[in-house]
Chains A and B, each alone.
Chain A
Amino acid sequence: MKATVLIRPKEGILDPQGEAVGEALRTLGFAVTSARVGRLVDVDLETDDPAEAETALAAMSRDLLANPLIESFTIEIGDGA
């Protein structure tokens, strides 16, 4: 089954990339107060069991995909598109 892990810079953590993107958007004339840049990982799992997938994805996120010191993650099960 398909799943998506969204990794975001934790609230309050400096995000220079997001600041630059926000500044660029303002330069283009968009009324943007802030932008934060994270990362998206699409995963295709062998299992069809959503609970099993959720457990596995949480472990993947903690062990590798996100660094808990500076990043938070959310898991979306299923073909989000």
Chain B
Amino acid sequence: MSEALGPRIAVVTFPGSNDDGDAALALELLGAEAVRVWHAETALPEGAAGVVLPGGFSYGDYLRCGAIARFAPVMEAVGAFAASGGPVLGICNGFQILCEAGLLPGVLRQNRQEQFICADVTITVESTSSAFASAWEIGQELVIPIKHGEGNWYGDDELVAGLETRGQVAFRYAEDVNGAVGSVAGVTNEAGNVLGLMPHPEHAVDPLLGPTGGVAVLEGLLSAAGIPVTH
């Protein structure tokens, strides 16, 4: 064990996850120690200070995206970790899973245009009240790719009003890309330690490969994970 390692972040792999490898690589590029966790595990790795639920098509997106993954054995440990204040980041399918699991508000529906969208998009920081946001600024623009067919976030009027009031809308698309209510691209839980977003920060950390808007998001997780949590 090297003393130089950053926070230990668990990256969960469900059957059908396909961005778990990139998530681990990106976290390591930013100085974290990424530990891969199979969905059938019932506990998170010793000393894990943060959790990433990556993108992909867990359980084939059967029934609804994320609906089956929330019953994975590891999700009980993730839920307990989140309840104890540990930072959890859900990316794309991970966001869908967190919504279905009730750890995040709302639900992701099929894109309004009924097409899978793969594009670099600009999102803006809408709130700095979460555990992830210590280095973010309101209005800060991040360019991060999206690639999803079901990224159209929905909450009813009452839910949206509550989220806006409590600063739980973390990110908004600069332009409407998929029909999401209020162009919401990412939300947090009320406590501010669970964040989900449709764009893929793990694909936007290396200038050789394009935009680097993902750095701020993942560093937000690392800074949130820097505070030891008990679980």
Question: Could you list which residues of chain B lie within 8 angstroms of chain A, going by C-beta atoms?
Answer: 63-64, 67, 100, 106-107, 109-114, 152, 154-156, 179
Contact yes or no, A65 B112, CB < 8 A: no
A16, B155: Cα distance in complex, Å: 17
Sampled A-B contacts (18; CB under 8 Å): A13-B109, A13-B154, A14-B109, A14-B112, A14-B152, A14-B154, A16-B111, A16-B112, A16-B179, A17-B110, A39-B63, A64-B63, A64-B67, A65-B63, A67-B64, A67-B67, A69-B106, A69-B156
Provided the pairs A13-B154, A14-B179 are in contact, do residues A67 and B107 lie with their beta carbons within 8 angstroms?
Answer: yes
**Cβ of A20 under 8 Å from chain B:** yes
CB under 8 Å from chain B, chain A span 17-64: 17, 20, 39, 64
With a cutoff of 8 Å between Cβ atoms, the chain B residues found around residue A64 in the complex are 63, 67
**Given A14-B179, A64-B63, A64-B67, residue A69 in contact with residue B110 (CB < 8 A):** no
- Interface SS of chain A: mixed
Measured between alpha carbons, how far is A34 from B106 in the docked complex, in Å?
A: 26
A70 at the interface (CB under 8 A from B): yes
Given A14-B109, A64-B67, A65-B63, the answer on whether A70 and B154 have CB atoms closer than 8 Å is yes
Task: Tally inter-chain residue pairs, CB-CB below 8 A.
Answer: 32
- Give Cα distance in the complex from A14 to B114, angstroms: 11
- A residues in contact with B110, CB < 8 Å: 16-17
- Residue of A with least CB distance to B152: A14
Describe B's contact surface by its main secondary structure: loop
Which partner residue on chain A sits nearest B155 by CB separation? A69
Q: Give B109's nearest chain A residue, CB to CB.
A: A70
Chain A residues with Cβ under 8 A from B67's Cβ? 64, 67
The chain A residue sitting closest to B113, CB to CB, is A16
| B100 close to A20 (CB less than 8 A) | no
B114→A16 contact, CB < 8 A: yes
Q: Which residues of A contact B111 (CB under 8 A)?
A: 16
CB distance from A27 to the nearest CB of B (A): 15
Q: B114 touching A17 by the CB < 8 A rule?
A: yes
Closest 8 CB pairs of A and B: A16-B114, A69-B107, A67-B107, A16-B112, A16-B110, A70-B107, A20-B114, A67-B64
Report yes or no: B100 in contact with A67, Cβ–Cβ below 8 A. Answer: yes
CB distance from A11 to the nearest CB of B (A): 12
Chain B residues with Cβ below 8 Å from A20 are 114
C-alpha spacing A24/B179, complex, angstroms: 21
Cα distance A20–B111 in the bound complex, in angstroms = 12
Q: How far, in Å, is A57 (CB) from chain B's closest CB?
A: 15
Q: Which residues from A are CB-within-8-Å of B100? A: 67
